[in-house]
Amino acid sequence: MPSRAKKKSLSIIIYMSLDTRSLLVALRSSSLRDELKVHYQPIIRLRTGTIIGYEALLRWHHPKLGMIPPDIFIPFAEQHELIFEITQILFDKVLRDQSCWNHEKNTLISLNISAASLTSNDLIELLKPLVSDPEISNKKVILEITETATLSNPENAKALINKLSNEGFRFALDDFGTGYSSLTNLRNLRIDEIKIDKSFIQDLDHQTHTDKVLIDAILSIAHAFGAIVVAEGIETEETLLQLKSMNCYAGQGYIFAKPMPASAIDDWYEQWPAQWRQLAHQKSHAVI
Ligand code: C2E
Ligand code: CA
Ligand code: CA
């Protein structure tokens, strides 16, 4: 079974084995704050290997239920109106983590914003302490939103995005290509970055001509709207090479690093130039 399918079925098994009540009790538990951890995954400029920033990704280690993946607990939390609290925990932890890593304090930090938070003015309140911290400013924060999130209440979403954009926040359209209104969204919203969903990227080298044409089209659309493109889920050198040859601006994926705790970032950063040199060397020998 391909690894993606395996991961998905594993998530389903975890979900099925958890009854709704225990998940809800666990999410409402006072120890949730300690059990949630933030991991960070670097985003790399593909031409130069420069580290553009890091995406913050939540992890939940429940003492009895085990590791619960975010794509299980986040939708569940949204459904039960617990997402506000979780976003608050995420922001607090990201703030605290800033002091953990010593290099490149100027890199960007990408935060995932759920649909429910996007249509609520509380998001502005939540963001205030984050950007009043001297380590972080609104210019450093990229808020990642999915197309689906912007669709649930488009007028509210547009108003909030405009307001926050005026204050210097940047927005990324996440999982691009999986929604249904990509072009309309791009015309209506102030989007600085487009993240191509990993389903288009993974095994790009094995995909058909149509998939490559599709990615080329996404790149052209993004350029036309003045947005940069980040390709998610780069796992192989072949994929990296393809994306470079298509002039994709940036990428993220296991080939560079898996999401890691803040305490591991400095070590990863130290070895990154050597890792990049090795990737670049291998690329120069590859045949497109
Ligand atoms: P996403 O925002 O699309 O995040 C990217 C996901 O792809 C992450 O999964 C990341 O670990 C995974 N990934 C990165 N590179 C590779 C790769 O090369 N190969 C593969 N197979 N996967 C890769 P993760 O951390 O399990 O997160 C899943 C989703 O949960 C996220 O998808 C996001 O929608 C949601 N999520 C995670 N953290 C948060 C959060 O703090 N708030 C909200 N609202 N949603 C979150
Ligand atoms: Ca994301
Ligand atoms: Ca994504």
User: Is the model's pLDDT at 121 over the cut of 50?
Assistant: yes
Tokens of 88: 């608050």
Q: Give 284 Cα–ligand 1 centroid separation in angstroms.
A: 30
285 CA → ligand 3 middle, Å: 30
Given a cut of 60, whether residue 1 has pLDDT beyond it is no
Q: Which of 14, 94, 112, 236 to mutate to test the pocket of ligand 1 (most atoms within 8 A of CB)?
A: 112
What would the mean pLDDT of 101-130 be, rounded to a whole number? 80
Average pLDDT, the chain: 84
Task: Flag the least confident range among 41-55, 87-101, 121-135.
Answer: 121-135
Q: How confident is the model at residue 287 (pLDDT cuts 50, 70, 90)?
A: very low
Which range has highest mean pLDDT (51-60, 78-87, 187-196)? 51-60
Residue 150 has a pLDDT of 77
Dist CA 45 CA 33 (whole Å): 33
**In the predicted model, what is the mean pLDDT of residues 91-98?**
89
pLDDT of residue 56: 97
What pLDDT, on the 0 to 100 scale, is given for residue 252? 98
**Which residue is closest in CA terms to ligand 1's atom 13?**
233
Whether 261 shows a pLDDT value over 90: the answer reads yes
Q: Is the CB of 154 under 6 A from ligand 1?
A: no
